[in-house]
Amino acid sequence: MRIVVLAGGIGGARFLRGLQRASPDADITVIGNTGDDIHLFGLKVCPDLDTVMYTLGGGINEEQGWGRTDETFHLKEELAAYGVGPEWFGLGDRDFATHIVRTQMLSAGYPLSAVTEALCDRWKPGVRLIPMSDDRVETHVAVTLPDSGERKVIHFQEYWVRLRASVPAEAVVPVGAEQAKPAPGVLEAIAEADVILFPPSNPVVSIGTILAVPGIREAIADAGVPVVGLSPIVGDAPVRGMADKVLAAVGVESTAAAVAEHYGSGLLDGWLVDTVDASTVERVEAAGIRCRAVPLMMSDLDAAARMAHEALTLAEEVRGA
Ligand code: FO1
């Protein structure tokens, strides 16, 4: 079975590990979000691609869900001693190596998709990981700074990591997305898929950014195969992260049903909500999306595998309908 998964960072990566457990023989292609990418110290950092690569390759810091295991921060400390920041973004020594290799290859003229493939040669994640685009896309967030009252547009990482989404996101803009082209292999993988899954990743800044690349949304809608998503919102709050902050920016309430409606029946065929949200199943089905309530807390690998199994079961149900 050929499965295509649109993935952001931690939620997407952990779901993918469950999917590999639930469907060990599946041929999985991951279309990774690159809107979180940031240039720091002259290096290109791709947090979501790296989170998927390290998680599936066994190199992730399990506790925080991003960055490398067994990490040290000497380089960051040395840079700080020169007054070179930002200090708010935690790049470790082992992680730096990835960004150096990536930047070197990009400078030599390789596209990001080829660079990602080369990095994955080391990590062997067991999936084909493709960035959504080889073109530069950067998510920016419009905020009003609490101290100065100044309205400013800042990089997504500054909003997420430095400000911890503590001020309302007034707008979320995937800068460059409109001009971006899907990376080689993205549209082909979608066209050849048997099932397309949206893991419980952020619907605005992860999956929303991937869908903002012209051609990807249309290809998924036209694929003619079941498209099934899992709600990142459980009991009206995000399972992890601060998805509610960016959902508000696009006028979507922070509920499992509202996120399903936001994707819409033109895109989604099936939607899984948590058992605590069972009362919303009817509302989602009324929107033309087949819905089931199952446990959606990815507390460990077994739980993630059960979620993946439920998603594949719902996909088969949709296919047979
Ligand atoms: N998240 C944090 O909360 N603090 C950090 O200092 C931080 C550094 C970092 C470095 C490399 C990387 O690949 C990811 C990193 N993240 C960090 C996670 C990242 O900012 C976000 O969680 C994702 O971009 C959202 O998917």
pLDDT confidence of residue 305: 98
The confidence band for 277, taking pLDDT boundaries of 50, 70 and 90, is very high
Q: Which segments of 155-278 does DSSP mark as H helices, in order?
A: 156-157, 186-192, 207-211, 216-222, 243-249, 256-263
| Phi, psi dihedrals of residue 4, rounded to the nearest 5° | -110, 130
Q: What is the mean pLDDT of residues 209-225?
A: 98
Q: Is the CB of 54 under 6 A from ligand 1?
A: no
pLDDT above 90 for 240: no
The β-bridge relationship of strands 2-7 and 128-131 is: unpaired
- CA–centroid distance, 11 to ligand 1, in Å, is 13
If you ran DSSP here, which 8-state letter would residue 180 be given? Answer: -
Which is the CATH superfamily of the domain at 2-134+178-320?
CofD-like domains (3.40.50.10680)
Work out which ligand 1 atom sits closest to the CA atom of 91.
10
Domain ranges of the chain: 2-134+178-320
What is the rounded average pLDDT of the residues 188-193? Answer: 98
The predicted pLDDT at position 51 comes to: 98
Question: What does the pLDDT average to over 45-53?
Answer: 98
Identify the band that residue 163 occupies on the pLDDT scale cut at 50, 70 and 90: very high
Q: In angstroms, what is the span from residue 66 Cα to ligand 1's centroid?
A: 6
H or E element that contains 193: none
What are 166's two structure tokens? 């503590």
Ligand 1 pocket member 91 (CB < 6 A): yes
Least confident of 140-149, 183-192, 212-221: 140-149
CA of 161 to the centre of ligand 1 (A): 7
pLDDT of 108 reads 98
Query: Is the pLDDT assigned to residue 92 strictly greater than 80?
Result: yes
Mean pLDDT across the stretch 37-54?
A: 98
Q: Check: CB of residue 36 under 8 Å from CB of residue 159.
A: no
What is the pLDDT confidence band of residue 238, given thresholds at 50, 70 and 90?
confident
Substitution candidate for ligand 1 out of 161, 163, 201, 242 with most atoms within 8 A of CB: 161
Confidence class for position 236, pLDDT limits 50, 70, 90:
confident
- What is the reported pLDDT for 244? 83
Q: What is the pLDDT of residue 201?
A: 94
Please, which pLDDT band fits residue 53 given cuts at 50, 70 and 90? very high
- Give yes or no for residue 310 CB within 6 A of ligand 1: no
Quote the pTM value. 0.97
Q: Identify the helix (H) or strand (E) that includes residue 269.
A: none
So what's the pLDDT on residue 63? 95
Q: How many residues does the chain have?
A: 321
Q: How far is the CA of 76 from the centre of ligand 1 (A)?
A: 15
Q: Is the CB of 244 under 6 A from ligand 1?
A: no
CA of 213 to the centre of ligand 1 (A): 22
Task: Tell me which of 38, 87, 89, 162 to substitute to probe ligand 1's pocket, judged by most ligand atoms within 8 Å of the beta carbon.
Answer: 89
313 CA → ligand 1 middle, Å: 32
* Atom 9 of ligand 1: nearest residue by CA position: 90
Whether residue 69 is predicted with pLDDT greater than 80 in this model: the reply is: yes
Question: Mean pLDDT throughout 202-219?
Answer: 97
